[in-house]
Structure 1
Amino acid sequence: MPVYGLYVDGRWVASTQGKRAPDHNPADNTLIAYVHQATAPDVEAALESAQRASRAWADTRVGTKEALFFCLRDVIMTRRTEIQQILIKESGSAFKKALWEIDYVIDLIQTMVGEIRRIAGETMPTTIEGRVSMSFRQPLGVVLGICPFNSPFLLTMKKVVPAVAAGNAIIIKPSEETPLSGLLIADLFEEAGLPPGVLNVINAAVADIAPALTEDPRIKAITFTGSTRTGRLLAEGAARGLKRITLEMGGKGPLVVLRDADLDGAVRAATFGAFLHQGQVCMAGSRVIVDSSLYDEFCKRFVERTRQVKVGSPDREDTVVGPLIRISQCAFIAGQIEDAVSQGAVVRCGGGYNGSYFEPTVLTDVTPAMRIYHEESFGPVVSVLRAEDTGDALRLANDTSYGLSAAVMTENLSDAWYFAQNIEAGMVHINDSTISDEPHVPFGGVKNSGFGREGGRYSIEEMTELKWVTFQTAKPSFPF
């Protein structure tokens, strides 16, 4: 059985205490590897390495950084099939979804290469005689990235690539469910020629190492993608250390279907938004809010399309819904459905599971009294809600503690603009799915979905410090 170590200071090392954890294939729960788990001495080694490397990397010329990223892109393209197979085997990513992750990362790298030469400040007018006033951006130093399991290659690279492009060193803590994906990233960067210490990867449970990392003064910023519960704990730690933090957390995304919507288009958008990667997507459209005039017909067509969604092994090219990351999640979702049905909800299709495979499920007649109305399922389950009119649809869309991504289906420009302005979400998509992302856009949410933005120059802003500098060319005059 393969055994994988930690990646610290450009070397593959065993944990100092020899602690290891199993890594399983979610499709059949078979053991695929053992992975060393970091303890306090390993965390300290990673911190020392990153701190030391950050100084030299911050001073590295932009041309050298660009060359590194172009090489990284070529390495990824060469190892594309290998990366895809790891994503399928470890995270349960369906065949096409895994390829999409890889293509996104290639686009991300090319985007950040373009940003490297645009990390700039500005000159500013001044009211003081003989003064030149300007600003510029500097790397923070050492960044901590805590990463999720659902798109482990894409979402980890969304942290690593901007941090390194901005001149920082970064320590990555992959999800306990997908440790190999994080180590794979270290291997790719190593092949591309990244200097030792600029990237360190340490696997462990968040609770075991997060306090030591979040409160250490050498960590200047934290970037996290994951659950709202864990994000709150990290934010508390960051607050004690007065560190900046970017949080991208859960969602209960609304797809609003207004009275003049293209019904077939709405059904397609709802299907994609609900069932991509088994619904294990923070942007998932897990609530579909439909105008009462279209409600019955929408439900009929949506159920018909949902029944056609292919469930199967993630290594099959035609699979849409594969396994959930852990079997226990199936029981959690089943409990949500049981609670909803006991209070009057109707299961229109699905509702069952076999092992870690949960059937694509559509619920109707869902009310605020039910757990599933409020709780994130993180599975292939969608609730269809009836709206009496446009105002009621907006009320329902905002009736959640989350605020990541939302979508509105309408042919009416005024309604589209009204929802774009008034939905409480960080991202709103008109006539599209709730699931949408590009490497250069300001990705992020509000309310319990987090704060801060990732993507392009927005990531650069999060991972650099803006400094104001003045030069006095004439002798200044002081009042005393």
Structure 2
Amino acid sequence: MGLLDTAVWDGKIFIDEWMAGSGGTQPVIEPATSQQLATQGFATPEDAQRAATAAAAAQKEWAAKKPEERAAVLRKAGDLFEQNAEEIHWWIQRESGGIAAKAGLETHVAANECFDAASLPTLAQGEVLSSNDDRWSFARRRPLGVVSVIAPFNFPLILAIRAVAPALATGNAVLLKPDPRTTVSGGVSIMRVFEEAGLPAGLLQLLPGGGDVGAAVVEAPEVEMVAFTGSTPAGRKVGETCSRLLKRAHLELGGKNAMIVLEDADTDQAASAAAFGSFMHQGQICMTAGRHIVHDALYDEYVSKLADRAKNLPVGDPAEASTVIGPIIDENQLNRIDEIVQDAVQAGAKVAAGGSSSGAYYNPTVLTDLTPDNRAWRDEIFGPVAPVIRFSDVEEAIALAEDNEYGLSLGILGDVGQAMQIADRVTSGKIHINEQTVSDEAHAPFGGFKDSGNGTRIGGATTNLEAFTEIQWLTMRPETAPYPF
């Protein structure tokens, strides 16, 4: 029986064991064909509360285990992602509409997230402090308790496991709520891996569901922290609730990322980088290159070469080896992409490539002649759309890059010295010189500023320790201290 054999999980959720959810079932739909692949159990807020209670009961024993025991589970989980990659790939391609390369990236990163997290239990868990009293003084890291992970549809496996793995490694229990559209790729696959890896019952609970379940895993009294990846409007609601309830919120939100193409950049290389940055996974990535800021001297040539690439990228079923552009996740998102493009054209933009859809697919699109107030320039589109605008000097490029509510990722192509000066002046959580905007590694800190989130909250040993533990002050004396009372 395979890891994701539907006989195990079809129509079920996981609260200590696979069981029917009180919210009934929902179909698992393939975006490319609209065919039903399976059914997924749905939880209710009451299920979420039961899961939180069970997780809190299991967490203390897990936190007390030897570091090597927790590390062993994480290493085994990484091995299982590698060993079962082909089966998981099938679900990522079918359920999320990702091409083969994207599916391979997800399982590769998922394994690395687990391997990197396996190092966390044996890292230094605090420091020795100086003291003005006759005592030893320590700052030590303690698990938070129960952590809720709410993950989106676009990279369902990566964007869930990058929080699940370090949270478990540092001694916490986890409530996992995947996007309802990608419950298998972003939920069942992780649950099954950790089951097989020997994670004790209760420490990872799988709660597919709608917004009411999302609210429940935030509000449950046992939950101390919420790791949320998703849209900025939804993230604001999570942050507001966590603030009211005095919970920690780690918010990785939207982006309208700029790619600046300097005067000396090679236009062939720049157009290639731009096509990847804007069209990878149909532009359904928070790091997508959503604003192309191009020097006057290169503008026409750049647009021509980018449009040519857009027109020649194979669009179709992600299961086909030749496909580069797969389907949009659902009809609502497809309609929103087209609405923004048509609004842009009504406002004066011109279509250099694409600008239309066919079935579940939106053709890679290049927009030119925009003004900075154009909706396609300002709003996160989450589709394969590359808006291009020109600049005449570096000051103008910096102003255009900064003039946006988001601050997640920035790419700068061209002279390194000039790029370094720009990097120091643009507000962005990630900056890539002579690379496009889409990049992530398990051991690298990840996060955004402004409306892209509340800073770097995930990735890398130091960041993950800070994210998923709390500092406790501990003092010790050889005997009871004397007091004047």
Classify the TM-score, shorter chain.
over 0.9
**Structure 1 counterpart of 2:258:** 254
Report the Cα distance in structure 2 between the residues aligned to 1:74 and 1:368, rounded to whole angstroms.
48
Report the Cα distance in structure 1 between the residues aligned to 2:298 and 2:42, rounded to whole angstroms.
53
**TM-score relative to the length of structure 1:** 0.96
For the Cα contact (< 8 Å) 1:307–1:360, is it kept in 2? yes
Q: What amino acid maps onto 2:18 in structure 1?
A: W
Report the Cα distance in structure 2 between the residues aligned to 1:35 and 1:200, rounded to whole angstroms.
15
Report the Cα distance in structure 2 between the residues aligned to 1:429 and 1:138, rounded to whole angstroms.
34
Q: 1:12 to 1:129 in 2, by over 3 A?
A: closer
Report the Cα distance in structure 2 between the residues aligned to 1:474 and 1:141, rounded to whole angstroms.
31
Matched, 1:8 2:8: no
Secondary structure of residue in 2 paired with 1:234? helix
Report the Cα distance in structure 2 between the residues aligned to 1:45 and 1:245, rounded to whole angstroms.
22
Q: 1:129 to 1:39 in 2, by over 3 A?
A: closer
Q: What amino acid maps onto 2:74 in structure 1?
A: F
Q: 1:302 to 1:56 in 2, by over 3 A?
A: same
1:463 to 441, 449, 468: 468
**Structure 2 counterpart of 1:394:** 398
Matched, 1:117 2:128: no
Which range moved further: 310-319 or 220-229? Answer: 310-319
**Structure 1 counterpart of 2:371:** 367
Q: CA deviation at 1:478?
A: 6.0
1:200 to 199, 205, 208: 205
**Structure 2 counterpart of 1:406:** 410
For residues 353-373 of structure 1, the C-alpha deviation after alignment (integer angstroms, 9 at most, x for no partner) is: 011100000000111332111
Q: What amino acid maps onto 2:378 in structure 1?
A: H
For residues 144-191 of structure 1, the C-alpha deviation after alignment (integer angstroms, 9 at most, x for no partner) is: 000100011111111110100111000000101111120121011101
Q: CA deviation at 1:94?
A: 0.6
1:320 to 321, 324, 327: 324
Q: CA deviation at 1:129?
A: 3.7
Q: CA deviation at 1:263?
A: 2.3
**Structure 2 counterpart of 1:243:** 247
For the Cα contact (< 8 Å) 2:68–2:121, is it kept in 1? no
Matched, 1:436 2:462: no
Report the Cα distance in structure 2 between the residues aligned to 1:71 and 1:369, rounded to whole angstroms.
51
Report the Cα distance in structure 1 between the residues aligned to 2:57 and 2:227, rounded to whole angstroms.
21
Secondary structure of residue in 1 paired with 2:118? helix
Report the Cα distance in structure 1 between the residues aligned to 2:46 and 2:109, rounded to whole angstroms.
35
**TM-score relative to the length of structure 2:** 0.95
Q: CA deviation at 1:130?
A: 1.5
Q: CA deviation at 1:296?
A: 1.2
**Structure 2 counterpart of 1:107:** 112
For the Cα contact (< 8 Å) 1:130–1:473, is it kept in 2? no
2:136 to 127, 132, 135: 132
Q: 1:115 to 1:66 in 2, by over 3 A?
A: same
2:385 to 357, 371, 381: 381
Q: Which runs of 5+ in 2 are unaligned?
A: 1-5
Report the Cα distance in structure 2 between the residues aligned to 1:467 and 1:59, rounded to whole angstroms.
16
Secondary structure of residue in 1 paired with 2:43? coil
**Structure 2 counterpart of 1:28:** 33
For the Cα contact (< 8 Å) 2:282–2:328, is it kept in 1? yes
For the Cα contact (< 8 Å) 2:49–2:220, is it kept in 1? no
Secondary structure of residue in 2 paired with 1:109? helix
Q: What amino acid maps onto 2:458 in structure 1?
A: E
Q: What amino acid maps onto 2:308 in structure 1?
A: E
Residues 43-82 of structure 1 aligned to structure 2 (within 5 Å): 43-82=48-87
**Structure 1 counterpart of 2:150:** 146
Q: What amino acid maps onto 2:19 in structure 1?
A: V
For the Cα contact (< 8 Å) 2:151–2:230, is it kept in 1? yes
For the Cα contact (< 8 Å) 1:327–1:355, is it kept in 2? no
Q: CA deviation at 1:62?
A: 1.1
**Structure 2 counterpart of 1:418:** 421
Q: What amino acid maps onto 1:89 in structure 2?
A: R
For the Cα contact (< 8 Å) 2:63–2:171, is it kept in 1? yes
Which range moved further: 249-258 or 117-126? Answer: 117-126
Secondary structure of residue in 2 paired with 1:450? coil
Secondary structure of residue in 1 paired with 2:39? strand
For residues 180-228 of structure 1, the C-alpha deviation after alignment (integer angstroms, 9 at most, x for no partner) is: 120121011101111000100011102x123333222210000000111
Q: What amino acid maps onto 1:135 in structure 2?
A: A
1:298 to 298, 302, 316: 302
Report the Cα distance in structure 2 between the residues aligned to 1:66 and 1:165, rounded to whole angstroms.
7
Q: CA deviation at 1:90?
A: 0.6
For the Cα contact (< 8 Å) 1:291–1:386, is it kept in 2? yes
For the Cα contact (< 8 Å) 2:207–2:213, is it kept in 1? no
**Structure 1 counterpart of 2:3:** none
2:182 to 162, 174, 178: 178
Residues 76-91 of structure 1 aligned to structure 2 (within 5 Å): 76-91=81-96
Aligned residues between the structures: 475
**Structure 1 counterpart of 2:229:** 225
Q: What amino acid maps onto 1:197 in structure 2?
A: G
Secondary structure of residue in 1 paired with 2:329? coil
Secondary structure of residue in 1 paired with 2:435? coil
Which range moved further: 367-376 or 397-406? Answer: 367-376
**Structure 2 counterpart of 1:311:** 315
Q: CA deviation at 1:133?
A: 1.7
Q: CA deviation at 1:477?
A: 6.9
Matched, 1:167 2:201: no
Report the Cα distance in structure 1 between the residues aligned to 2:118 and 2:429, rounded to whole angstroms.
26
For the Cα contact (< 8 Å) 1:350–1:361, is it kept in 2? yes
Q: Which runs of 5+ in 1 are unaligned?
A: none
Q: CA deviation at 1:92?
A: 0.5
1:340 to 333, 341, 344: 344
Report the Cα distance in structure 1 between the residues aligned to 2:213 and 2:113, rounded to whole angstroms.
29
Q: CA deviation at 1:243?
A: 0.3
For the Cα contact (< 8 Å) 1:426–1:445, is it kept in 2? yes
> How large is the RMSD of aligned CA atoms in angstroms?
1.6
Report the Cα distance in structure 2 between the residues aligned to 1:94 and 1:35, rounded to whole angstroms.
23
Which range moved further: 428-437 or 331-340? Answer: 331-340
